[in-house]
Every structure is written in C-alpha cells, then in structure tokens.
Amino acid sequence: MPDKPETWAWLSAWLQQHWPPVYAGLLAGVIAGLRVIYGGGTWRRVILEALLCGALALAGSSGLEMLGIANSAGPFFGGVIGLLGVEAARVLALRLFAGKAVQL
C-alpha cells in the first residue's frame, strides 16, 4: 500500500469529502470513552460505549442534510451524543418517536 500513491490520493480525497461525519463519529467515540473512564467503568464498557456512540453519531450526522441542518454541524451532534451516551440517546429517540407516532 505505501508504494501505491494513487491509493493515498484516493484516501485523502475520500476523507476530505466525508470529513464531518467521520469527525463526528471519532469525537463521539473519544468523548464517550473518556466519560466512562471518568465514571470508573470497565475496559469492556469503555470500548463498547465508544464504538456504539461513534456509530450512532456517524449514522446521525450522515442524515443531517435531510433535516435541513448543515453537514458542518455533525461534530457538534457527535460531541453531544458522546457526552450523553447511548442510553440517554436511546431514551430521547424513543420519546421523540413515541410523540410522533401518537400524532399520526
């Protein structure tokens, strides 16, 4: 791979094009991991929470344009997801979607 410059050029172009969602996922993972470490969690919980928050932030930040929010706001939402954690994000999502289901 190091001997193929076109691979590095492709990777650089891809990262430049998709940087806000990638950054949101990484930021959420780091913040979630540090939050669990600060709370005295186990390494298993640190890894799982970081991966879950990162994936949730990546998925959420990829759909921001559909809600009329700029892609550059993705890292903000990633940071919030990492700070709240998976359980809090789940409770908020259930509350939001339950209210929408009743309106239908």
Domain of residue 60, residue span: 19-103
- Is there a domain that residue 14 lies in? no
What total of structural domains would you count in the chain? 1
Look at residue 104 and tell me whether its pLDDT is greater than 70. Answer: no
**Angle at which helices 19-38 and 74-84 cross, to 10°:** 20
- Is there a domain that residue 3 lies in? no
The mean per-residue pLDDT over the stretch 77-90 comes to: 93
Q: pLDDT-derived band of residue 1, with 50, 70 and 90 as boundaries?
A: low
Look at residue 67 and tell me whether its pLDDT is greater than 60. Answer: yes
- Is there a domain that residue 1 lies in? no
Contact status, residue 49 vs residue 33, Cβ threshold 8 Å: yes
pLDDT digits (tens, 9 = 90+) for 12-28: 999 999 999 999 999 99
Rounded distance between C-alpha atoms, residue 92 and residue 80, angstroms? 12
- Is there a domain that residue 5 lies in? no
pTM, two decimal places: 0.82
Contact status, residue 83 vs residue 77, Cβ threshold 8 Å: no
- Is there a domain that residue 64 lies in? yes
